[in-house]
Amino acid sequence: MSLHLVAQLDQLKDATPMVFTVAGRSIGLIKSNGRVHAVRNVCPHKGAPVCRGSFKGTMLPSDPGTFVFGMDDRILQCPWHGWEFDLNTGRTLCGHSNKKLVLYPVTVREGAVYVDI
């Protein structure tokens, strides 16, 4: 693995995926709640550019007739088929345990965002 300077922190808008090419890979950076997530811009389901999808929360399991919304600013939803992924783990919420986003470690130093590829 090697550290790559990708962006300046002030370039990133809150809760808005931005895509960069890093070491020949399409990588999305998403700033949320003081943290920056780096994700490979490929949905593991069918290869969609996942960072063109929505970044939001989702409906949580709840009692019948009750709707509970949660996981605010943690869910990246694929634009093609609506699969939802938890950016803390990369795992899908669609029940397919072998389908997972590729996440990369991020370091923010003196306002610069580095991704370890």
**pLDDT tens digits along 19-36:** 999 999 999 999 998 899
Of the options 3.90.245.10, 3.40.50.620, 3.40.50.740, 2.102.10.10, the CATH number for the domain spanning 3-116: 2.102.10.10
Q: Is a pLDDT exceeding 90 seen at residue 43? A: yes
Gap between the Cα atoms of 86 and 84, Å rounded = 7
Gap between the Cα atoms of 93 and 86, Å rounded = 7
Q: Is a pLDDT exceeding 80 seen at residue 65? A: yes
Q: Is a pLDDT exceeding 90 seen at residue 68? A: no
- 88-100 pLDDT tens trace: 999 888 776 688 9
51 φ, ψ to 5°? -75, -5
Gap between the Cα atoms of 112 and 75, Å rounded = 24
What pLDDT was estimated at residue 64? 85
What is the residue extent of each domain of the chain? 3-116
